[in-house]
């Protein structure tokens, strides 16, 4: 009896085909420096990352898009295919120096900066998966416009949650300071 009930549930549970695409890219800005004493100044000068009058050494930009297809029957409309596309773009410094002192400072600092930025990337991946899961679990609606509007509303709310989580991550880590991602602490 249980097998029959489970089989009926499986048979009448709509299956939504889902696909998640993650595209990652890193843009580097050159930091040319000859001495450890000029390292912080050189990175600050070279960095293209400015926000509210502050200079940052690394940045993660994320963009989540989603697409879905539906199936319309006489009485309802349901999603049958969901695709989320996450674009992650990291902006990071690239060292151009022959100085052993500079390289000795750079290596441990850069790994901490990268770890911090990858934390933003992991948040984006998590929230892209939440969008996919939320869209896959959308209930059928009487018409496809309502379904489409509802699906977009849900996805946009999750993007808002991601933006808040990313900002909270920066507050919690003080933009990476607690993770060792601030260059001045390595000098």
CA distances from 112 to 34, 95, 106, 176, 177 (A): 22, 15, 10, 8, 9
Query: What is the per-residue pLDDT across 29-43, written as a single tens digit (0 to 9) for each?
Result: 999 999 999 999 999
Comparing 6 with 133, which gets the higher pLDDT?
A: 133
Residue 64 and residue 84 in contact, taking contact as beta carbons nearer than 8 Å: yes
Residues in the chain: 187
Domain of 181, in residue numbers? 17-186
Mean pLDDT in the chain? 93
Which pLDDT score is estimated for 3? Answer: 47
Question: Is residue 8 domain-resident?
Answer: no
Question: Is residue 11 domain-resident?
Answer: no
pTM: 0.89
Query: What is the per-residue pLDDT across 140-155, written as a single tens digit (0 to 9) for each?
Result: 999 999 999 999 999 9
Question: Is residue 1 domain-resident?
Answer: no
Residue range 124-136: mean pLDDT, rounded: 98
Query: What is the per-residue pLDDT across 2-38, written as a single tens digit (0 to 9) for each?
Result: 544 444 444 345 688 989 999 999 999 999 999 999 9
Question: Is residue 134 domain-resident?
Answer: yes
Count CB atoms within 10 A of the CB of residue 137: 11
When divided into structural domains, the chain yields a total of 1
Residue 82 and residue 113 in contact, taking contact as beta carbons nearer than 8 Å: no
Question: Is residue 75 domain-resident?
Answer: yes
Question: Is residue 10 domain-resident?
Answer: no
Interatomic CA distance for residues 89 and 91, integer angstroms: 7
Contact residues for 17 (Cβ-Cβ < 8 A; gap 6+) = 80, 81, 82
Question: Is residue 38 domain-resident?
Answer: yes
Interatomic CA distance for residues 47 and 80, integer angstroms: 45
Residue range 44-52: mean pLDDT, rounded: 96
Question: Is residue 6 domain-resident?
Answer: no
């Amino acid at each position: 009896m249980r097998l029959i009930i489970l089989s009926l549930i499986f048979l009448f549970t709509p299956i939504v085909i889902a696909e998640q695409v993650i595209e990652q890219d890193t843009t580097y800005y050159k930091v040319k420096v000859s001495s450890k004493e000029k390292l912080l100044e050189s990175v600050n000068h070279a960095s293209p990352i400015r926000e509210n009058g502050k200079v940052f050494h690394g940045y993660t930009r994320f963009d989540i898009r989603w697409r879905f297809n539906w199936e319309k029957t006489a009485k309802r409309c349901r999603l049958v295919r969901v695709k989320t596309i996450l674009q992650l773009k990291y902006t990071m410094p690239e060292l151009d120096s022959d100085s052993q002192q500079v390289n000795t400072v750079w290596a441990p600092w850069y790994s901490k900066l990268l770890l911090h930025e990858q934390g933003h990337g992991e948040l984006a991946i998590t929230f892209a998966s939440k969008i996919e899961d939320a869209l896959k679990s959308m209930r059928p609606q009487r018409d496809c416009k309502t379904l489409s509007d509802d699906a977009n509303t849900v996805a946009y709310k999750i993007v808002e949650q991601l933006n808040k989580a990313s900002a909270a991550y920066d507050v919690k880590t003080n933009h990476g300071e607690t993770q060792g991602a601030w260059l001045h602490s390595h000098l």
